[in-house]
Structures are given as C-alpha cells and as structure tokens.
Amino acid sequence: MAPRKQHSLLSILAIFLLTTLATPFPFIPPPARRSTTPTLPSSTLPQPATGLKLKYIALGIGTQNYTCASSADNTKRTTSTPSSAGALATLYDITPLLLTPYGTSLAPALAPLALALFGLDHLAPASSPDAVWQRLIAQLLLPTDMQPSRLGTHYFGAYGGAGGTSPMWALDGAGAGGEGDGVLFVGVKEGSATAPVGACKGLGGEGAVDWLFLGEAEAEKASDASQSKGEQKTQKRAQAQTSDGGIRAVYRVETAGGMQPASCEGVEDGAFEVAYAAQYWFYGVDEEGEKTC
C-alpha cells in the first residue's frame, strides 16, 4: 500500500465538520421538500444527449487502484509512473437528498466529507464504505424519507473480448458479472476534465481525479469466439439494458482524492490503492410509466 498521511488537514476538517454537524437540535426540513431536477455540476464535459433523462445520482466511496512494475533497481522506480488498474467503489443513492434545497446546498461537500471519514475509519481494521456511509448520514441528521440507500457497485471487469478491462456499474440488484435483476452499465470514456482547483486533494494531498463523461461500450464489436463464458454473460446482460430503458451515459463529478503519485518511488508493493469519493450521475431513456428525477 502507498504511504497514507492519516493525520492530514483533511482529517482535522472531518473532525471539525462532525463537531459542527452534530448539533443537539433536530433537523428541520425546508418548506419546499422537493426542488426542480438537479443540475449537473458545470464543467467542460459534453452535456447529456437530447432525450436522456437523469435516472440516479450516486455517491461512490472506495479506491482508485494502481500498479507499479516490479524492479530491484530503485532508479527505475523513481522514473517510472504508476499505471491505472481500475477502481472499486460502493455506490449510495443520493437522488432523494439532492431533490431538496437542503441536499443541493450540501452536494459539493458530500464527497470530501465521505473521504475524510473513510480515512479516519481506515485506522480501524473493520473499516468499510458502509460504515463510513452510516456515520455520514447519521451526522447529517436526515429525516427517514431523505436517507440515501445503497445503490450498487462500481468496478472494472473484462468485456468485449479485446483484452483489458472496462468500467462497470452494477445498480439496484445487479451483481458483479451481470447477475441479478438490476441494471449493469459498461462504459467507455468519451470526455474528461481536470478537477476544479478547489477540489478536495485527498487524504495525502495527492490530488482529485479527473471528472469524466462515459458513454455505452460498443459490445457489437466484440468477437464471441475470443470471450470467456464470464465475458459473454456480462456482455449479454449489458446489451439487454440498451433496449429496456437502461443507462446510456455516466458522469463522474465532484471528485475528491484518488490521484496516483507522480512516480513509483517509495511504493513497496506492485499494486496499491488511493482512497477517493465522487458523485456519479446516471442518464438514460424514459420508459412509459417509469419514474425519473
């Protein structure tokens, strides 16, 4: 694992925020419990295509994963750079929260606060994104109908028969590999933007990962003969979603932490993780009678 500055200013910020939020007064919801459709945070990323509707907004808490080539020569480690090995994050549905004025005002702080709590919880062996999330919603003192729930998982998996891995989001019951009754979206990066200057730089000051726009992976280009059974199952599951009102695009915004170090110097293991949190905005096509934001 990469060295982690566990007593960073971010941890101090978390303690300050927790002290501030843990007020003895009960939460009083604003008069208007529902606002207009949430607006995607401003950036240079392309806007959602005409006809796409906002389906979910999720807060992802987890790690960006990297590898460094093994080398006994420290000079090579100093000059080599880490390679991305994907990400793994648990997703929590914050759509109901962001449909309120109160939630909208909190939105930019959710990822930094979750990351700070994630860093503090790493001091305990039993830490997990779920533990972080429960602490976060407890401190926000949300009424029951505004408390977010677990939405799914973001991970990278084999897809398309071309080698390598693709970013995947298994939502609302879809398990890894496409099992379950939920939505499985397989994405391909179509745009990126550097995180804003004021973005939370992470537990060790490493920097915030880019904001991203991802469209659907083109599964029809894959060759079934080159795929494993697991890859074929994942592809069929994702293809089914393209015709039943599934997800068409995902935006990663409001990122906190997750950036790889500039070089592999000081990295003892070949693989390591960098904690991050981010919002994921999911867009899709309406089905008749389907509820969207």
pLDDT in tens, 55-109: 999 999 999 999 998 765 555 555 688 999 999 999 999 988 898 888 888 899 9
pLDDT, average across residues 144-165: 80
pLDDT, average across residues 167-182: 65
Query: Residue 147 corresponds to which amino acid?
Result: Q
What pLDDT is recorded for position 23? 40
What pLDDT is recorded for position 181? 58
- Express each pLDDT in 216-247 by its tens digit: 987 544 444 445 555 555 555 555 554 344 89
Contact status, residue 220 vs residue 25, Cβ threshold 8 Å: no
Place of tokens 């529902």: 34
85-120 burial: b if 16+ Cβ within 10 Å, else e: bbbbbbbbbbbbbbbbbbbeebbbebbbbbbbbbbb
What pLDDT is recorded for position 230? 55
What pLDDT is recorded for position 118? 81
- pTM, to two decimals: 0.79
Q: What mean pLDDT, rounded, does the chain reach?
A: 76
Greater pLDDT, 250 or 123: 250
Highest mean pLDDT (candidates 140-149, 165-174, 204-213, 280-289): 204-213
pLDDT, average across residues 22-30: 42
Place of tokens 């592999």: 264
